[in-house]
């Protein structure tokens, strides 16, 4: 801007100078002197005006610079505040998602605990019915007392789990892994479900080996999973049939199967049986309730152990529900 004004001033001075030269050629000496003096006065006035204008422009320019500097500072502050707001928004969104996940997980764990607490309570009721209704041998009485104790302990454990879910902000599964042999757990599930099976005139048979390889598992959770399989098989089996518990192994897995002689599952629905909330057309044979999460719970637990669940079934020919749990790899010495 300053360069333009200087150029304009220079041009005006040149023009005026040329005009003076023209006048000098035409006018007399006195006239020339008066003209020169007049023109010089005009040039001086014009110069002063331009000089003052230039000074004003310079002052305005300095003011604008200060305003721009102030605006830049304010913009920097606003940008910083905007970044902080965006960070807080992301933090709030993350907190919201965590709370939603916490709420969902709590609901799931609560539903699992409430579902699984029904099995031992039903077993206790069945054992009490047996004690009242039949003349039992000492061995049978011993088995019933063993089942009552185990079922009662399971109710207490599940009640504790429900309490922990309600009061805790930590909704992780908190699996307590240990190396164990599944024979004792399978036997415990067998004992807990004997009375339930007998109350429905179903023969529960345990053909599992006591010499299974070691697996790394949470004993309580694996017991839950096996118990859901056995309880489910009894629930849908008609009277005067069998429910068989088997186990075997290969170099990679220990497999547990629960085989029933129930109505079987339509091939169209076999792939859906482990989905949460899926209720099939088959009705329980003793008017038991169902909510479609028992097999989903099994899948959830087994997959947390690095295993897999599966089912084989044909309509009218019963079903086989299985789970494969990874074996503990034996260390080999090469020295």
User: Read out DSSP for 237-301?
Assistant: PPTT-EEEEEEEE-SSEEEEEEEE-S----TTTGGGTTSTT---SPPPTT-----S-HHHHHHHH
pLDDT at 92: 73
- Which residues lie below 8 Å from residue 217, measured CB to CB, with a gap of 6+? 177, 178, 180, 182, 305, 325
Residue 115 resides in a domain: no
Distance from C-alpha of 226 to C-alpha of 207, rounded to nearest angstrom: 14
pLDDT at 32: 56
Residue 311 resides in a domain: yes
Determine the straight-line distance between the first and last CA of the chain, rounded to whole angstroms.
89
Counted domains in the chain = 2
Q: Any idea what the Cα angle at residue 103 is, between residues 102 and 105, rounded to 5°?
A: 65
pLDDT tens profile 288-302: 777 778 888 899 899
* Rounded mean pLDDT, 262-284: 84
The answer on pLDDT for 332 being more than 60 is no
The verdict on 73 and 189 lying in the same domain is no
Pairing of strands 319-326, 308-313: antiparallel
- Which position has the token pair 């029904």? 118
The verdict on 69 and 202 lying in the same domain is no
Altogether, the residues listed in the chain come to a count of 335
Q: Any idea what the Cα angle at residue 67 is, between residues 66 and 70, rounded to 5°?
A: 85
pLDDT tens profile 125-155: 666 666 666 666 777 667 767 777 776 766 6
| Gyration radius from the chain CA atoms | 46
Distance from C-alpha of 99 to C-alpha of 136, rounded to nearest angstrom: 54
pLDDT at 171: 43
Of 157, 181, 178, nearest to 256 by C-alpha is 181
Looking at 40, 59, 77, the residue that finishes a domain is 77
pLDDT tens profile 182-218: 999 999 899 888 888 988 899 999 999 888 999 999 9
Residue 165 resides in a domain: no
Distance from C-alpha of 166 to C-alpha of 201, rounded to nearest angstrom: 38
Task: Please say whether the beta carbons of 119 and 228 come within 8 A.
Answer: yes
Give, in order, the Cα–Cα distances in Å from 42 to each of 10, 14, 16, 49, 311. 15, 13, 9, 10, 110
3-class secondary structure, 309: strand
The verdict on 320 and 177 lying in the same domain is yes
- Least confident among 6-15, 82-91, 175-184: 6-15
Looking at 56, 77, 98, the residue that finishes a domain is 77
Q: Give the domain CATH number at 271.
A: 3.30.565.10
The verdict on 72 and 189 lying in the same domain is no
What the block records as the tokens of 112 is: 């699992």
pLDDT at 333: 47
Residue 85 resides in a domain: no
The model's pTM: 0.59
Residue 220 resides in a domain: yes
Residue 87 resides in a domain: no
Sign of CA dihedral 262, 266, 267, 269: negative
b or e along 84-108 (b: 16 or more beta carbons within 10 Å of the residue's beta carbon)? eeeeeeeeeeeeeeeeeeeeeeeeb
- Which residues lie below 8 Å from residue 233, measured CB to CB, with a gap of 6+? 243, 258, 259, 260, 262, 319, 321
Looking at 21, 47, 77, the residue that finishes a domain is 77
- Least confident among 95-99, 212-216, 329-333: 329-333
3-class secondary structure, 306: coil
Residue 11 resides in a domain: yes
286 versus 28: which is more confidently predicted? 286
Structural domain that includes position 39: 2-77
What the block records as the tokens of 233 is: 């098989």
The verdict on 314 and 205 lying in the same domain is yes
Residue 279 resides in a domain: yes
- 217 CB neighbour count, 10 Å cutoff: 28
């Amino acid at each position: 801007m300053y360069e333009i004004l200087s150029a304009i001033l220079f041009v005006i001075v040149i023009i005026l100078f040329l005009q003076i030269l023209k006048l000098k050629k035409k006018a007399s000496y006195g006239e020339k002197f008066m003209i020169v003096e007049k023109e010089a006065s005009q040039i001086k006035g014009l110069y002063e005006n331009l000089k003052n204008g230039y000074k004003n422009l310079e002052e305005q320019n300095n003011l604008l610079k200060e305003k721009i500097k102030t605006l830049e500072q304010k913009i920097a502050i606003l940008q910083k505040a905007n970044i902080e707001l965006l960070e807080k928004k992301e933090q709030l969104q993350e907190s919201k998602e965590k709370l939603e996940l916490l709420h969902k997980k709590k609901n799931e764990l609560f539903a699992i605990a409430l579902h699984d607490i029904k099995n031992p309570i039903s077993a206790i009721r069945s054992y009490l019915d047996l004690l009242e209704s039949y003349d039992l041998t000492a061995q049978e009485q011993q088995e019933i007392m063993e089942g009552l104790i185990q079922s009662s302990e399971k109710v207490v454990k599940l009640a504790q789990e429900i309490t922990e879910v309600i009061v805790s902000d930590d909704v992780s599964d908190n699996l307590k892994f240990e190396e164990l042999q599944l024979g004792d757990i399978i036997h415990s599930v067998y004992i807990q479900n004997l009375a339930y099976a007998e109350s429905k005139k179903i023969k529960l048979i345990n053909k599992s080996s006591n010499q299974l390889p070691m697996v790394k598992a949470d004993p309580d959770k694996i017991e839950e999973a096996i118990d859901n399989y056995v309880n489910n098989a009894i629930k849908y089996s008609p009277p005067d049939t069998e429910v068989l518990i088997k186990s075997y192994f290969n170099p990679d897995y220990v497999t547990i199967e629960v085989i029933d002689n129930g109505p079987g599952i339509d091939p169209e629905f076999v792939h859906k049986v482990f989905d949460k909330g899926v209720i099939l057309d088959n009705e329980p044979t003793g008017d038991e309730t169902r909510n479609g999460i028992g097999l989903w719970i099994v899948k959830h637990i087994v997959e947390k152990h690095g295993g897999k669940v599966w089912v084989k079934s044909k309509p009218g020919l019963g079903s086989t529900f299985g789970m494969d749990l990874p074996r503990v790899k034996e260390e080999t010495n090469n020295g």
